[in-house]
A and B are shown apart, each in its own frame.
Chain A
Amino acid sequence: AQTVTQSQPEMSVQEAETVTLSCTYDTSENNYYLFWYKQPPSRQMILVIRQEAYKQQNATENRFSVNFQKAAKSFSLKISDSQLGDTAMYFCAFMGYNNDMRFGAGTRLTVKP
């Protein structure tokens, strides 16, 4: 079974600085998809970024980028120029052939003014 591990329960960063959230996963599949979702206090899950495993190029979305290392089964999220609105729980998620998403335990990120 696929497992997703986020080893950092909590992190903090100063506004305007850069922070990296870690995620590792375990799978025997070759084709799969990885996601980062953000859950602010409102509890609404918001998609941050998506990466297809067959693509070597790392995905980017404005201030958000990933470092996808397929061989190492690592998928970290870098947030540049952190903003107060980035304060949230961040979940790393894996989607394989069966289409059910497996989530990590989450990292609580606090952006400090």
Chain B
Amino acid sequence: KAGVTQTPRYLIKTRGQQVTLSCSPISGHRSVSWYQQTPGQGLQFLFEYFSETQRNKGNFPGRFSGRQFSNSRSEMNVSTLELGDSALYLCASSLVERADTQYFGPGTRLTVL
């Protein structure tokens, strides 16, 4: 079974632009979570989707948003990019909505210039 895939793997944007990252979960998995990883703040939870509904959201500004499609694929969007948004964005999927192991994708490395 294929693992979690994320596209693109690398992105370079400039301040003020917006960006959309994509995540395809493991086949059959219905929950998708997003995390931001930076050297300074470590791994931080962004949000979680299950059955196209956002069930939980971390402490990030409204510039960070996401959605999930009926096939469980998920996208996250960051608008008005700031230098501090440079990070590795990780997506993880799990089979069910609660208390289930999350399996991670390879991440998208976003650089904001």
Tell me if A25 is interfacial: C-beta within 8 Å of chain B: no
Interface contact B99-A105, CB-CB below 8 Å: no
Interface contact A45-B90, CB-CB below 8 Å: yes
Interface contact B101-A47, CB-CB below 8 Å: yes
The CA-CA distance from A101 to B107 in the complex, in Å, is: 17
Interface membership of chain A positions 6-17, coded 1 if the CB is closer than 8 angstroms to chain B and 0 otherwise: 000000000000
Interface contact B43-A99, CB-CB below 8 Å: no
The CA-CA distance from A88 to B1 in the complex, in Å, is: 25
Interface membership of chain A positions 80-95, coded 1 if the CB is closer than 8 angstroms to chain B and 0 otherwise: 0000000000010001
User: In the complex, which residues 31-60 of chain A have their Cβ closer than 8 Å to any Cβ of chain B?
Assistant: 31, 33, 35, 37, 42-47, 50
Interface membership of chain B positions 32-63, coded 1 if the CB is closer than 8 angstroms to chain A and 0 otherwise: 01010000001111001000000110100000
Interface contact B99-A95, CB-CB below 8 Å: yes
Interface contact B43-A103, CB-CB below 8 Å: yes
Max chain A Cβ within 10 angstroms of own Cβ: one of B42, B44, B55, B103: B42
User: In the complex, which residues 73-113 of chain B have their Cβ closer than 8 Å to any Cβ of chain A?
Assistant: 88, 90, 92, 97-99, 101-107, 109
Interface range for B = 20 to 34
Max chain B Cβ within 10 angstroms of own Cβ: one of A91, A98, A99, A103: A99
Contacts of A43 in B (CB 8 A): 88, 106-107, 109
The CA-CA distance from A69 to B90 in the complex, in Å, is: 30
Using a CB–CB distance below 8 Å, which chain A residues touch chain B?
31, 33, 35, 37, 42-47, 50, 91, 95, 97-106
Give 19 A-B contacts (CB < 8 Å), ordered by A residue: A33-B99, A37-B104, A43-B107, A43-B109, A44-B106, A47-B103, A91-B43, A95-B102, A98-B56, A99-B33, A99-B48, A99-B98, A100-B33, A100-B58, A101-B35, A101-B102, A102-B45, A103-B43, A106-B42
Using a CB–CB distance below 8 Å, which chain B residues touch chain A?
31, 33, 35, 42-45, 48, 55-56, 58, 88, 90, 92, 97-99, 101-107, 109
